[in-house]
Structures are given as structure tokens and as C-alpha cells.
Amino acid sequence: MSEPDLLDGALQIARVEYPQLDVDLCRGRIEEFAGAARGKIGPAGRRAVERFNAYFFDELGFHGNAENYYDPRNSYLNDVIERRTGIPITLAALYCEVARRAGLRAHGVGFPGHFLAKCILADGDILVDCFNARTVSRDDCQALLDSFSPGGGAVTDDMLEIASSRDILSRMLNNLRRIHAGRGDFARAVRWIDMDLALRPESPYGYRERGMLYVQMEQFGKAQIDLERYVAMMPDSPDLPQVREQIQLIRKLLSHLN
């Protein structure tokens, strides 16, 4: 399966919520940002990253939405562009798309609990926390990890590796799934899982999560299919007793309905 284009995928996610979205207009805005950045940052290097950060965060005003973190609009790239605010992953995705077009080697980093960006340079990498508009050291990353997962151990190299476009899009979709499921909007949550499974059909957890949502929606036939698929894909999972119990309850419900 070929790697999806990050910008195209992010705009397709937004288009689900905004069917009339002009994706070409959004692309044009990003090209405008990148064109202006090219005229400001100079030759590639640490100074170029500093200048780009000043442009992106100070001049354009992109910042984290700490006041309304779980607002779904923080996850739609068109809204992030217009409102100049978002969550770590959408801000980092936009940062990387603009930075790459401006001549920097920028990539997303799937750090646990707080997505980052990374600019790759000849003399070392620069990690950028786009939500807080700052560069971060490994010690800063440790402080971030401790804040999200106290006692979670030390930051490892794999936590700072470049994330694939597929991983980034999947993480965006999972954010939206959690937001809408938490609001009781199970149909919307299922919609995001559908998109995630189109990206990662081999992922067993999507089937489990969708199956549990179908239970909430009283779509028991669909729930049974998804949960049985999860059991087949994860025969040694520690949660199997609970999932099998749920399947048995569904079978009883379906037998009474029939």
C-alpha cells in the first residue's frame, strides 16, 4: 500500500466535515505562506529554522488552542489555517507542509501525548513544539512525557523518530474519534474509524473500537462482525475475555430479536 500524501489526506478529513471545502484554496494559502517564508529565512541552517519559526508563530500567529483543546475545529486543517490555532498534530502538520515548501527538511514526530515537528540539519536536528511555539530539547521532551505519563520512564530514540504520513493521518482520525465518542456522537466517531480502517485495514484496534461503538448504537449485527474480527486478529490479547463476553451478550440479544 503506497504512502498517502499528508496534505491531501488532511484536507480530505476536513472535507468530510465541510463537503463544500475548496481544497485548492487551502493549498493556495499554504503555497502563499511558503512563498513568503522563502523570502525571509535565507540559506538552510539553524538560523533559517529560527527565522521560519519567527514567521510561522509570531508573524502568522499560529498557536495552540489551550482554552478549547477538544474543539473538533482544531483537527480540521482548513479551520487551523483560518483561525490560526489548533492542537499539536494539526499545527505540526501545517508547519511541516509550509516549511518543506520553503526549503526546510521538516517532518512530524509522533511523540507520545504531544505531537512534535523536527527540522533535519547537517549539524543535528531541531525539535519544535508547535503547540507552544518553541524549540525543545530532549530534557524538555522528558518533562512533556512526565506531564502526560508520570512514571512512564525515560524518553527513547524511537519516540523521536519521524512519523509516516499514514501514522499522522491515523492519529488525526483517532483524535476526532475520541472527541466525538466522548460527546456521545457515535455515528461521527464510527465515520472516523471507517476512514482510519481504510488507511490501516490491518489494525485490529479499529475493529474493536468500532464494534464497541456499534453496541452503543444498538447495531448489534455490525458489532458482532467487528468484535469477532478483532478476536481472530488478536487471539492472545489480554482483553479477549471481556471482548468474548461482549460477543456472547450480543448473540443473546440477536437471538431474542430474531
Q: What is the pLDDT of residues 120-135, one digit of tens each?
A: 998 899 999 999 999 9
Tell me the whole-structure pTM to 2 decimals. Answer: 0.94
Is CATH 3.10.620 the right assignment for the domain spanning 6-160? yes
The predicted-structure confidence for 140-164, as pLDDT tens digits, reads as follows 999 999 998 887 789 999 999 999 9
SS3 256: helix
Q: Which of 11 and 1 is assigned the larger pLDDT?
A: 11
Res 176 pLDDT > 80 = yes
Residue type, 10: A
Predicted confidence (pLDDT) at residue 185 exceeds the cutoff of 70: yes
Which residues have a Cβ under 8 Å from the Cβ of 47 and sit 6 or more positions away? none
Using CA atoms in the order 243, 13, 169, 216, what is the torsion angle rounded to 10 degrees? -10
* Length in residues, the chain: 258
Q: Where in the chain is the domain with CATH 3.10.620?
A: 6-160
Query: CA of 217: how far to CAs of 48, 144, 187, 205, in Å?
Result: 51, 37, 8, 18
